[in-house]
Every structure is written in structure tokens, then in C-alpha cells.
């Protein structure tokens, strides 16, 4: 059965989608079967994977509302992984879900039918602690938290950790933190090094050793609808995400 990882941080622009796309492609390089679920109405993971979000037949929206089968929504992309794509229709799902029964576990129920088809299922969450994110946490075994090492970085984590705790109490007792990932890292920045040290102190081994540097290739690749390893394999960004996939797999083996 595939491992389901929610990639989440309610702070915007921290690298959730970049991590979703590039980790998916890097895991494929190691011959893992990967599904990426785009759970953000912005549809960035959809577009960044090379799918036109304005030409989707079935999306995460239909899957959550219960009018579309997840198998039929899956699209295989150039990066070698499958995507359940999304567009702004998903914003409406938030409102509609409130009136449906079992509204927090809709994604979990949908994923049950495809979990055997994949080694990893990654969920790209929106920048909020909304019902969509709660669906991701209810469906996931672990939460991966990408973050920039800025001032207030630790404060921002409090609400996220509290939400994870609530979901654990009420919906998904198995939910764990997969790891914290430092993104857009600039080692010349003293503050980044200080925050990094604080994260190590608070989270110990949960902090990945792999660090994602600021790298322009990572920012360019989505405009070509490709993961960075298809766009510039030699770039620091590509190498960093390949290293992250390696670190995750080594942890899995050790567990």
C-alpha cells in the first residue's frame, strides 16, 4: 500500500508545490510509482506538471464531491508520475463539502481505491488550514512541511502543529510529521543559519539533512510544465530534490 504524504504549510509561497512536483519526479527516478494529488484551487501543481488546468475533464473537485472516480481523473505526465489535476472549481468544493456527510474524510475514502497502485501518494495542499487541508491530513500518514528559514518561521509552525494534533485526536490517530524541509535556502544569510539551528533544536531528526537551495532553475521549470530534473538535471535544484528522495527512502528502509 502506498504511503500518503501531505505537503503542507499554511504560509504561502514556501515551496509546497515546487516540492510536490520535484519530489514526485525524483521518486519516479528511483522507480517508485507516484501519484500527485493537486489539492490547491490555484492549480499550480497541475500546470507545473504540464497539464492545462483549463482543459481538465475530471479534477479533484469531482472526486471530493463524489461525482467522479479518482482512477478516471488520473493523468500520467512527462515527469513519469500521475496527477489528479485541479482548477479553480475546487474553491467551490470548500463550500459544497460543508453540506456533505463525512466531509473531512472524502479524500481518504477516494484514495482507498488507488493506494495499491502507487508507492507514494503526495498531496499538494493550499496555503490555508481549511477543510481541504483537513481532508489531506485525514488521508495522509505523514505531513511534510516545507519552510523558509525566516524570522517568525517557528511561530508560524504553531498553528500547523496544532491542526495536526487536532486531526490526530479526531480523525486520524496515526498521523505523524514526516519531516521539515528547508527551502529557498541561502547559506550566506545569518538569520537562515540561526533559524536552522532552532529548527534542529526543536525538531531534531525530523529536520531533513537535505536542504533545498534557492535556485533559479527550480523557478523556471514550471513555466515549461516540467519538473526540474527534466529541464536541467545538473542544476543544484535538481540535485537537491534527488537527494531529498534518497533521504526519504533511506528513512523508510531504516524504519
Ligand X SMILES: Nc1ncnc2c1ncn2[C@@H]1O[C@H](COP(=O)(O)OP(=O)(O)OP(=O)(O)O)[C@@H](O)[C@H]1O
Nearest distance, CB of residue 7 and Mg ion, angstroms: 9
Total residues contacting Mg ion (rule CB under 5 A)? Answer: 3
Residue among 10, 44, 135, 210 that touches Mg ion (CB under 5 A): 44
Nearest distance, CB of residue 42 and ligand X, angstroms: 6
C-alpha cell at 183: 527551502
In the chain, % helix, strand, coil (3-state, to 5) comes to 50, 15, 35
Helix, strand or coil, per DSSP, at residue 83: strand
User: Does residue 219 touch ligand X according to CB under 6 A?
Assistant: yes
User: Does residue 86 touch ligand X according to CB under 6 A?
Assistant: no
User: Does residue 148 touch ligand X according to CB under 6 A?
Assistant: no
Options 10-18, 138-146, 175-183, 203-211: segment touching Mg ion (CB under 5 A): 10-18
User: Does residue 156 touch ligand X according to CB under 6 A?
Assistant: no
User: Does residue 38 touch ligand X according to CB under 6 A?
Assistant: no
C-alpha cell at 83: 496527477
Provide DSSP, 146-214.
EE---TTHHHHHHHHHHHHHHHHHHT-TT-EEEEEEEEEE-TT-HHHHHHHHHHHHHHGGGEEEEEEE-
Toward ligand X, which CB reaches closer, 22 or 114? 22
Toward ligand X, which CB reaches closer, 114 or 129? 129
Options 26-34, 135-143, 194-202, 210-218: segment touching ligand X (CB under 6 A): 210-218
Dihedral, 254, 83, 115, 183 alpha carbons, nearest 10: 30
Please state whether beta strands 120-124 and 34-38 pair in parallel, antiparallel, or not at all (unpaired).
Answer: parallel
Q: Which positions lie near ligand X, rule CB under 6 A? A: 12-18, 40, 42, 44, 127, 183-184, 212, 214-215, 218-219, 222, 237
Amino acid at each position: 500500500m502506498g504511503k500518503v504524504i501531505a505537503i503542507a504549510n499554511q504560509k504561502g509561497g514556501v515551496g509546497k508545490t515546487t516540492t510536490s512536483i520535484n519530489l514526485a519526479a525524483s521518486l519516479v527516478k528511483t522507480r517508485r510509482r507516484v501519484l500527485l494529488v493537486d489539492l490547491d484551487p490555484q492549480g499550480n501543481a497541475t500546470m507545473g506538471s504540464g497539464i492545462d488546468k483549463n482543459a481538465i475533464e475530471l479534477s479533484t473537485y469531482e472526486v471530493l464531491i463524489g461525482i467522479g472516480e479518482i482512477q478516471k481523473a488520473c493523468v500520467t505526465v512527462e515527469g513519469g508520475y500521475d496527477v489528479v489535476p485541479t482548477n479553480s472549481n475546487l474553491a467551490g468544493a470548500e463550500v459544497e463539502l460543508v453540506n456533505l456527510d463525512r466531509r473531512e474524510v472524502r479524500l481518504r475514502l477516494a484514495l482507498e481505491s488507488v493506494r495499491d497502485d502507487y508507492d507514494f501518494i503526495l498531496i499538494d495542499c493550499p496555503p490555508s488550514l481549511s477543510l481541504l487541508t483537513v481532508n489531506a491530513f485525514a488521508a495522509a500518514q505523514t505531513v511534510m512541511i516545507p519552510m523558509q528559514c525566516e524570522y517568525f518561521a517557528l511561530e508560524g509552525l504553531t498553528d500547523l502543529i496544532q491542526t495536526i494534533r487536532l486531526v490526530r485526536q479526531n480523525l486520524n490517530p496515526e498521523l505523524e510529521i514526516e519531516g521539515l524541509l528547508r527551502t529557498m535556502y541561502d547559506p550566506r544569510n545569518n538569520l537562515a543559519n540561526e533559524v536552522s539551528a532552532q529548527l534542529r533544536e526543536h525538531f531534531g531528526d525530523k529536520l531533513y539533512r537535505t536542504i533545498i537551495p534557492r535556485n533559479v532553475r527550480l523557478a523556471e521549470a514550471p513555466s515549461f510544465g516540467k519538473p526540474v530534473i527534466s529541464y536541467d538535471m545538473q542544476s543544484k535544484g535538481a540535485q537537491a530534490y534527488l537527494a531529498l528522495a534518497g533521504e526519504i527512502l533511506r528513512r523508510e528502509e531504516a524504519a
